[in-house]
Each structure stands twice: as C-alpha cells, then as structure tokens.
Amino acid sequence: MVRTLSAGAVGVRFSGLGEAARGAKAFGFPGLEFDPKQVMELGAGAANDLFREVGVTPQVFGLPVEWRKDDATWQSGLDELPALADAAQAVGCTRCATWVLPCSNEREMGENVTFHVERFKPIAQILGDRGISLGLEFIGPKTLRDSMKYPFIHTMSGMLELGEKIGPNVGLLLDCWHWYTAHGTVDEIRALRPEQVVYVHVNDAPEGIPVDEQVDNNRRLPGQTGVIEIAGFLRALDAIGYRGPVAAEPFYPPLNELATNEDRLRTVQQSLDRIFDQACVPTQG
C-alpha cells in the first residue's frame, strides 16, 4: 500500500504542485492526491519531471465533475473531463474518486439509483477510455442517513451493486470510518478483489459513542482511540492484494488548529506509522 497525502483532508494548503510534491516527500508520503488542473497548467512533461525529481507518484485525483447539481452544471463538468483525464493519464495516474450521499430529500431509492447511474455512466466511460478507475465512496453514519427524507446506498455491498450498473472500471473509495459506521466486517473486505478497491481512507472514531450515534464530521486521527479495528481492516486489504493509495481523512479540528503545515504533516505521519505498525503490513513510506 502507498501512503498518500490528501492535503485538504488534513488541513494542509500548498501553493502549487511542486510544493505539494516536496511536502509529501519530506514527511514520508510517496504518493500524492493531486489536481489534474495543476498538471495542465505546468504541462505534462514538466509535471513528470517534477514527480521523478522529487520521488513522489501522483496516485489519485478527486472527480472534477459537479455531478450532484443541475443538468447544465453536470454537462459542463463532463465537457471538461476528457482534458483533465488526459492530464492525469499523462502523469501515470489510474485512479479517481468521489463520494455519494446516503440520503435524499428529492428522490426515493429506485429513482436515485437511476439518477446516479445516468450521471456516472458517461463519467466512467471517459475515465475508462484512459485506463482510469472510478472509486465511489459509500457514507455510513445512520445520523446522516436519518437527516433526510429518503435513505440511499450506505454499505459496501450496495455501492458495489451500483458500480456494476455503471461500468467495469467502477469500484470503491473504501473509508474505514464508513466501513465501521455501516457495521462492515473484515470478512466483507476479504471477499473483495483488489481491483474493486480504488482508494482507501483511514481515521478513527471518538470513544463512548454508540456506532449508530456517530456523527460524520467528528472523527479522530488514525489509530488514536482504537474504536475502529484498523489493524484488521488493513490486514484484510493486504490479504486481498490491495497495493494502492491509503490517505488519512480525520476531520479532526485539533489537527487543523496546529500552527503550521509541518506540524500537521508530522502528526498525520505519526498516526499512519502507528496503524501500519499495529497491522504489521508493508507500505511505501
């Protein structure tokens, strides 16, 4: 597995692709979640030179299409996606990811499935034509699901079924927080094929809160409390042969309150050291 820096997820801001790559390398992250627009601005040749010089690989990018809104907004993003996907392909990136809300105030389950399939099919096709997989993240907390009128997909199995309707290059963004809050099991992960996992997020949960009362934006650093059985989670991924990016996404205010990028990066690096040591699985970085 490749320790990957998702800067925005840990409250870190960089001025550009060069600073991001060097910051990742300096704190033991051989992988980087990046913005393909920055590759386009720099030029693919210069971006590749940068990544080679620094010794960091562009592992994954967030889906640059606003597919949740009106048709015109979705279509505009769809029109821009081929050039952005070309930029990602040009630096050797084969993974893209986004999240899917587990509820709706507008659409019941069947209608919402149809909506997501229609929105994602052309996206997946554009990415697939360039050898890029799309990871869809299921969102687990019952507290969020109960906040809207209609529940939607919120489990690993449900998201895999949706992905099958969309295209062969669609898999999971698997976040241990959502796996935990959806009452997921290690056996479910062990039943996966490695290509079904596009991207992995790690974090922990606060102590003393029943699982169905956990709130999505109140998390902890990976391995901080031990509420989430992260060692079993990582061992299961290792057992199926997953060798892709793993990034911290703690949504933990005290992390954002640290004075500098360096403080935040060091703290996240230490948290990843902790969980990979607990799991005793190999990782880059």
Query: Which percentage of the chain shows pLDDT scores above 70?
Result: 100
d(CA 121, CA 104) in angstroms, rounded, equals 20
Element housing 245 (H / E): strand 245-248
pLDDT per residue over 93-127, tens digit each? Answer: 999 999 999 999 999 999 999 999 999 999 999 99
pLDDT per residue over 196-212, tens digit each? Answer: 999 999 999 999 999 99
Q: Taking a C-beta distance cutoff of 8 angstroms, is the pair 235, 189 a contact? A: no
What CATH class does 2-30+95-279 carry?
A: alpha beta
- Taking alpha carbons only, the member of 279, 126, 112 closest to residue 200 is 279
Q: Where are the domains positioned within the chain?
A: 2-30+95-279
Per-residue pLDDT band for 191 (boundaries 50, 70, 90) equals very high
d(CA 174, CA 178) in angstroms, rounded, equals 8
Flag whether the pTM goes above 0.95: yes
Quick count: other Cβ atoms within 10 Å of Cβ 108?
A: 12
**Would you say residue 285 has pLDDT above 90?**
no
Written as six digits, the tokens of 171 are: 């898999």
> Rg for the chain (alpha carbons), in Å?
18
